[in-house]
Amino acid sequence: MFIPRVNYVPETSAEKQKYADQYYEYVDWFKKIPHETWYLNEHEPKKRLVATFIQHPDHLKKTVIISHGYKGNRETMANYAHMFYNMGFNVLLPDDRAHGDSAGEYINFGWLDRLDYLNWINKLIAVKGEDEKILLFGVSMGGATVEMLSGENLPTQVKAIIADCGYSSIKEEMTYLLKEQFHLPEYPIEPLVSTINRQRLGFYLGDVSSIDQLRKNRRPILFIHGGKDTYVPVKMAYENYRATKAPKQLWIVKNATHAESFWYNPEAYQHRVGQFLKTYF
């Protein structure tokens, strides 16, 4: 969708402003916790990708890799990092291409990012050892990123996936937003954007599908989605859920809007995630 990078995190929606104090408490924790900075392509400025790694003191040989949302960065996932850290996980938080401290001119909505995450997984195994157990977790665009990653040939160390409010395909998501938010038709906008995207990033919007990737998925997966999500419609959660033949669970958080499920009830969120991990991790 050739959206150029933005070098700031946009304001959150009005309905999420009420969580601001809690959010900044998590960010403070994130800034103070001992951590390492990891890189991919460290010596190639135009391709350099950056991540924060937080080692849990208990050394339980399990790491969650957390994928952030559209125009977010690793710091915006501090609340999830805190939750998983409290559950005994090491935490690896990358900045996607064209986000945060990573290089890149254009946001690619998870499609090229999925290959970067494959490289982060391999780096993690190289650093932490073959016996590291890995969980993939993402929200919004990050949810779609881990869904798209699920169809790749993942190392055996990857044990499970949690995708919170990911879209089923970029084309469907764009068409939905054109209609709902901008009252515009799919044609001629989508084909035009798709063609420019092919020139800039090497793929058409129609090439990018969580559903197609989930059909190849073999890992247990938990889908989470807000029942009042008007940004990524809840029907996409059902489409994604139906697509995979792997062990799967779907949790619709009835009154939550987009990416609000955690904030709506953090205890319930952690409990549900914990139950899933107890069964499959």
- Pairwise CA distance, residues 165 & 258, whole Å: 7
pLDDT score, position 15? 82
Task: Please answer whether residues 129 and 194 qualify as being in contact, where contact means their C-beta atoms are separated by less than 8 angstroms.
Answer: no
Q: What does the pLDDT look like over 149-169, one tens digit per residue?
A: 999 999 999 999 999 999 999
With 0-12 / 13-18 / 19 or more C-beta atoms within 10 angstroms meaning exposed / middle / buried, residue 186 is middle
The pLDDT assigned to 211 comes to 98
Under a CB-based contact definition with an 8 Å cutoff, are residues 238 and 175 in contact?
no
The parent domain of residue 254 ranges over: 3-280
- What pTM does this model have? 0.98
Check residue 3 and give its pLDDT: 85
Tokens of 241: 């859920």
Q: Which residue has the tokens 């395909």?
A: 169
Tokens 């995708």 appear where?
Answer: 163
Summarize pLDDT for 235-253 with one digit per residue, the tens: 999 999 999 999 999 999 9
pLDDT value at residue 80: 98
Q: Choose among 173, 168, 175, 134: nearest CA to 244.
A: 168
Taking Cα atoms as reference points, which of 31, 40, 10, 23 lies closest to residue 101? 40
Higher confidence at residue 181 or residue 1? 181
Residue 177 has pLDDT above 80, yes or no: yes
- What confidence tier does 1 reach under pLDDT thresholds 50, 70, 90? low
Task: For residue 197, give the CATH number of its domain.
Answer: 3.40.50.1820
Q: Using an 8 Å Cβ cutoff, are 219 and 154 in contact?
A: yes
pLDDT of residue 257: 97
Assign 30 to helix, strand or coil.
Answer: helix
From residue 281, alpha-carbon distances to 78, 82, 91 in Å are 22, 19, 16
Please tell me the total count of domains within the chain: 1
d(CA 120, CA 26): 24
pLDDT tens digit string along 81-95? 999 999 999 999 999
